[in-house]
Amino acid sequence: MKKYIAEPFRIKMVETIKMTTREEREKYIAEANYNTFSLRSSDVYIDLTTDSGTNAMSSAQWEGIMRGDEAYAGGRSYFNLIAAAQDIFGHKYIQPVHQGRAAEKVLFELLLKEGMYSISNMHFDTTRAHVELAGGRALDCVVKEALDIADRSPFKGNMDVEKLEKLINEYGKEKIGVVIMTITNNTAGGQPVSVENIKQTSEVCKKYGIPFCLDAARFAENAYFIKKREKGYENKSIKEIVTEVFSYAQMFTMSAKKDAIVNMGGLLGIKDDEDLFIQCKARTISFEGFTTYGGMSGRDIEALAVGLYEGLDEDYLEYRIGQIEYLAARLDEAGIAYQAPAGGHGIFVDAAAMFPHIPYYEFPGQALTVELYKEAGIRVCDIGSYMLGNDPDTKEQLKADFEFTRFAIPRRVYTQAHIDVMADALIAIKARAKDVKGYRITWEPPILRHFQAKLEPLK
Ligand code: F0G
């Protein structure tokens, strides 16, 4: 059995969470029309909806909150953030924005026009949405190992570089506005990308003159996997690895709500293209606010400047990834399938394997989501056909590559005992899996339906 790595911190402040009875939870989930996004968080015991913005800040970050400079222009906190980001990422131009998708909105319309394409190892939903809003189309190009959940390759998040070059030639290099590398690869299960793969991808981009952008929400977790798994990096510091990774990209967008361990924030980085940066600044002023606050308050900027360094701490990362590997080891012991090996920010359980009798159009990932809430008050989310939705032309339900139920683990929030509650709940559900029924949608909005749809259990 894998040992749980003890927390490298002690707890100074606590937030009470409600223990509910199964009877109460049955009522709450029915009232929420079997959609966990419609639950009140006060009725949730362990909330694993996302690892984004749900992190616990340190006493040093709270100190920063008090120091935050709320000046409209030229605030002290802004300069602290720029210095930290330049130091860690090595890009000359840094623009704060309020979260990751804001960076996407500011940048992508400058790179993509109607009829153009972006190619990524895998686009996150908002990234895909901003590519499409800019008039482009998003093409995913992940290595084939990612599609086999039992394949324990070390870098299942990688770009398929051969296919990338084929796609560029097929569509024409002038039609590819940007190549985006998502680190870690969230949609594939928080799987890492190697330095070698990032380097090769950047060389292909250079060869064809296509901008190379990192979607770097989980840059520190990715660097930790590189240190543990890639030859030649075992003796480098996490910061050195991060700086090297960013040196291969001309630009990056970042949701700072993940690895910078804050509740709100984002960054846009441009390595050295001053003209592009000037255009980004103009767009930031229209969409986000003046360039020295970019949609954030000064206190949030200060907490982010501190959090960028805390996220690189190796003891913290060992505990962080260790916590998820501990959960994975308990699932291995119980014969519960998930996207293996464990990802950086959570576990993606294979709900189709748990419920082989529930077809994709009856949403096995959502069935497991509802069961986890009923069983133990745990809130997770479906990353499968329920989330994917319908074909925009035929209106037919699409079949996803995977029927995942995602356990996204907030940073520094839950303890070993909570992780055991998660494993025990899954084991209990597995024991009665054959009695679990699928779901039917009774109402859905036209886009991003999973956030708002209403469902009912099938008889
Ligand atoms: N890119 C990736 C890889 C992400 O995972 C996210 C957000 C974003 C961009 C957008 O950032 O939310 O700050 O605007 N992912 C969250 C999640 C929401 O639950 O995986 P944002």
pLDDT band at 1; cut points 50, 70, 90: confident
What is the arithmetic mean of pLDDT over 91-103? 98
CA-nearest residue, atom 8 of ligand 1: 100
Answer yes or no: is the C-beta of 217 below 6 A from any ligand 1 atom.
Answer: yes
Answer yes or no: is the C-beta of 284 below 6 A from any ligand 1 atom.
Answer: no
- Which amino acid belongs to residue 141? C
CA-nearest residue, atom 19 of ligand 1: 50
In Å, how far from its chain's centre is CA 212?
Answer: 20
pLDDT value for 391: 83
**Active-site residue, 217 included:** yes
Q: What is the pTM of this model?
A: 0.97
**Active-site residue, 124 included:** yes
CA-nearest residue, atom 2 of ligand 1: 124
Query: Which atom number of ligand 1 is nearest to the Cα of residue 184?
Result: 3
Block residue for tokens 């690892």: 51
pLDDT band at 174; cut points 50, 70, 90: very high
What secondary structure letter does DSSP report for 271? S
Determine the Cα–Cα distance for residues 226 and 245; give it in Å rounded to an integer. Answer: 10
**pLDDT at 447 exceeding the cut of 90:** no
CB atoms within 10 A of CB 78: 24
**Active-site residue, 156 included:** no
pLDDT value for 189: 94
Probe residue for ligand 1, chosen from 126, 184, 252, 387 as the CB with the greatest number of ligand atoms within 8 Å = 126
DSSP class per residue in 334-352: HT--BSSS--SSEEEEEHH
Q: Report yes or no: 157 and 342 within 8 Å, Cβ to Cβ.
A: no
Answer yes or no: is the C-beta of 291 below 6 A from any ligand 1 atom.
Answer: no
Percent of the chain at pLDDT exceeding 90: 94
Answer yes or no: is the C-beta of 191 below 6 A from any ligand 1 atom.
Answer: no
pLDDT value for 448: 80
Parallel/antiparallel/unpaired status of strands 212-215 and 381-383: unpaired
CA-nearest residue, atom 15 of ligand 1: 52
**Active-site residue, 171 included:** no
Answer yes or no: is the C-beta of 52 below 6 A from any ligand 1 atom.
Answer: yes
Active-site choice (124, 225, 252, 414): 124
